[in-house]
Structures are given as C-alpha cells and as structure tokens.
Amino acid sequence: MHTEVQGPGNDLPANVTSIDEPPAQAVRQARTRKKLPVVNKDFQLERFNWHRLRRIIHALCFVIFVSLPFFNVIRFDIPRQRFYFAGFELWINEFAIVFFSLMFLLFVITAASMLFGRVYCGYLCPQMIFSEASINLEERVKTLVNKYFAKQSLGVRHWLNNIAVYSVLGVASIFLAFVFISYFVEPRDLFGRLISLDVVTAGGIAGAVVTMITFADFAFLRQRFCTTVCPYGYLQGILGDNNTLVVHYRDPEEICVECKKCIRVCHMGIDIRTSPYQIECIHCGECVDACKLIMGKFGKDTLIHYAWGEKGELLGDDRAPWYRRIGLRDAKRIAVIAIILVYGTSLGIAFSMRHSVLVRVSPDRSTLFRKGDDGRIYNRFRLNLANRGRTDATVTISINGLPDTSLSLPSNDIAVKAGESIETEFEISVPAGSLSQQVNHFTIDSIAAPEATRDSFEQTFIMPLENKTK
C-alpha cells in the first residue's frame, strides 16, 4: 500500500514522498551511524502481524457486542429487574449469583489489566473499534469525493465530504445506540419505541440522548474520549507493575533511521520511543509493525517490541518458561488467577443448585386461625411462585405431617408461564378436635415440573387454646 505524505507537519525530510519507503536522508544517516545492508525495497511483512490480528479481533468483537443482548448472554433488564448472564435469567432476589457473576467479571478485568496492560483498549474496546471505523470511513469518503468530484472546488468537496460522513455516522449512531440500550431494555420493546419514534416517554428520551452522545463521540471526540473521559485506561495504569506487558522501544546499537513512521501510524499520536508507560498508549502494536517494515528493508529486526516490563523478556521469547511467557511472573498474578478460579467455581456451583421455578411459602399471621362454619380450623398461608426458566411449568403442593388436612386451592397443579410471577393465598384446615397441641409442626412440599425439582418448607399450624386443655 502506497501512502502519500502531504503537509508540512509530518516532521519528515523534504525529499520524502512515501511513508512506506525509508527516507533517503534517513538511509544516509543510518549508514553513517552503523554499517547497514543495502535497502531491500521488496521487503514485506509476514502474513502474521499485529495490524491484521487487530482487524480480525475487531470484527469478532463487533459481532459479539451486537449479539450479546439479543441472546441474553450479558444483559441487565432495568424495567423488569432481571439480570441475564450466560443465558440464565437471574432475578433481583438471586443476589448471591449476581454477586458471584459481578465479582468474577471484576477479577477477570483486573487480571487482564495486571497481565496485559491496556491490550483491552487496543483490541477489544468497542469505543476504540468504532472510533477507528469512523476515521477509516472519513478517509474512504474523502477519497471517493476527490475522485468523482475532482472538478468541483475545494469548498464544495469539503461540504460533500461532511454531508456523506455525517449521514453515515448518523445512521450508525442510531444502530449502535439501539444495541447499547438493548443491554438494559428488552430489545423487542425498544424496537417498538424506535419504530414509533418515541421521544415523549422516559425511554424514548433516553434513547434520543444516547444516540446524540454516540454521534458526537464518533464524529468529534473519537480517541480523545479515551484520554479525557474513560476511567478504565487510568485504572489499567494503576493495576500495572514492572512485569505488565508493554510496548517497548529498544535500540542498544543506535540504528534507528529516524523515519518516524511509528509516530505517524499511532492512533493516539504518541512517540513510543520516549517511554513505554505513556497513559495514552493502547498497546495496539501498530508501531511494532511499522518499525518491522522499515527495519526489515535494512535486514534488521524491529526496534519496538511487546515486552514483559521495561526490562523483562520479549513476548514470545522461547527461552523463558511457559508460565513466564503467558505472564505468570510472580505470586501476585498467581493469586489473582486463583481468585478467579474460586469465583468461577462458586458461580458454577450456584448455577447448578439453581431451580428454574422459585417457590416460597410463608404463613399469614395477621389472623392466627379461623373457625369455620363446618367446624374446622383454618390457617392462612401465602404462596409465591416465579418461573425463571424459558418454558412453562406446573407446581404441585402437598401437606405432610397433619392428619385430615384440606387444602383450599382451586387446583393443586398451578400453571406458571415462563417469566411469570404468581402471588396467591390459600388455607389449610383440620377438624377442630384432631390436634392436641396449640402449635403443630408440619411441612409443605412442592414439585415443579418438568424439571421435577422438589422443595420442602417447615411450617406451623395454630390451633385454638382450648384444644390444649382437653
């Protein structure tokens, strides 16, 4: 790919016309400093390079980002007070599972930042992915406008370019805002609001605001969002240490040709040669590829590498043990990984013990008992059913430990639809003289089909005091 250099602000020698070729002046300087071989103009990067890897990961992350809320992999439904994780529908009262899920994700993020620094920003962050996409879109639109409207004046081409770019970004902002809000609102409900152009309700206003913020971000802020607004970059800087993965410049033989291509390809506009610990560095590796391309034309290896700390081994160094090559370089990292395994195991156990149908039985003690006209003693109970699964269920209630009981339910097989909650009351009655104790212990058992899960609830039945004296 041949990229022309335009403008005086590139810090290049006057005779330079392409950033893909080593500048002639830089070549002369390099030859005077070190005996370098003749330039190989046909040198190309190998098939694997960090730029290609980032593009593949960006495409995968885009698909994942768009798909997650629609398949309930991760979604927090605010109106319904539901938390979706790994396909499970967690209700707000399932605090233990929600807690383990959030702690698991927190420690995964912590471990990733401690081991790999700001790799998330360069490879996985949706903000960075869409910012780079908007920049590439602007460049492609500008190229097309200059090609097909070359006869027009510079001002006309400028306005045509802005109209085209902002129109595409406007449509993209609506789509991305829809996806983002889908993490917090049911997508079908949100789509209905979008079709009806709802800008009156709170949900519609929130959607319009998110859309405008998204447009402003990708049209104007872009990477400036990472350095001025986003707190995660600074958090990663706090979690890093001397063994964290960094992009590091090493030139012990002083053979740098000063082409400055590593600066021009940097999305954040920094000079990695000054320090590997710049907060703006997103560890994208573009400067690594740029230096490898230029130095490869001299028959030399790149001067910029991924390394485990400023003085640590290079990434991929086969001489280091396998555990050091993947970042496990001290006890602190091993401890964090162990904590992740603990939370992951706890989360798995919590999910395995979870029942799709939640059954709760509690006594109604606003009235201890009631004497019926039929001579029986009645106690009232509350029944709460919640179907947290994806299929309809049936709950059967039975009484154990009380003789001659009668259950006042219209049907003992209670149907509960998927996602439905039922709260009802029922009475249990016994003959007036059948129990000698005032307080009698028994159990209420439930069976939920089709999973055939069983629950047992210990309860008490209150009899009139005169029964105790007989």
Domains and CATH numbers, the chain: 357-469 (2.60.40.10)
What's this model's pTM, rounded to 2 decimal places? Answer: 0.72
Give per-residue pLDDT as tens, 46-102: 777 899 999 999 999 999 999 988 888 888 887 777 788 777 777 766 777 777 788
User: Cβ contacts of residue 444 below 8 Å, gap of 6+?
Assistant: 361, 381, 397, 398, 399, 400, 456, 457, 459
Where the chain has pLDDT below 50, the residues are 1-19, 31, 467-470
- Of 253, 249, 256, 251, the C-alpha closest to 273 is 249
Kind and range of the H or E run holding 425: strand 421-431
Q: Do residues 395 and 453 touch, judged by C-beta distance below 8 A?
A: no
CA angle in degrees (0–180, nearest 5) for 142-58-64: 125
Structure tokens at 211: 């859309």
pLDDT value, residue 7:
38
Q: Count CB-CB contacts under 10 A for residue 285.
A: 22
pLDDT value, residue 299:
86
pLDDT value, residue 234:
77
pLDDT value, residue 460:
92
State whether residue 461 is helix, strand or coil: strand
Q: What are the beta bridge partners of residue 82?
A: 77, 91
pLDDT value, residue 229:
83
User: Cβ contacts of residue 78 below 8 Å, gap of 6+?
Assistant: 184, 185
Q: Count CB-CB contacts under 10 A for residue 210.
A: 17
Q: How far apart are alpha carbons 461 and 369 in whole angstroms?
A: 8
Q: What is the average pLDDT value for the chain, to the nearest integer?
A: 83
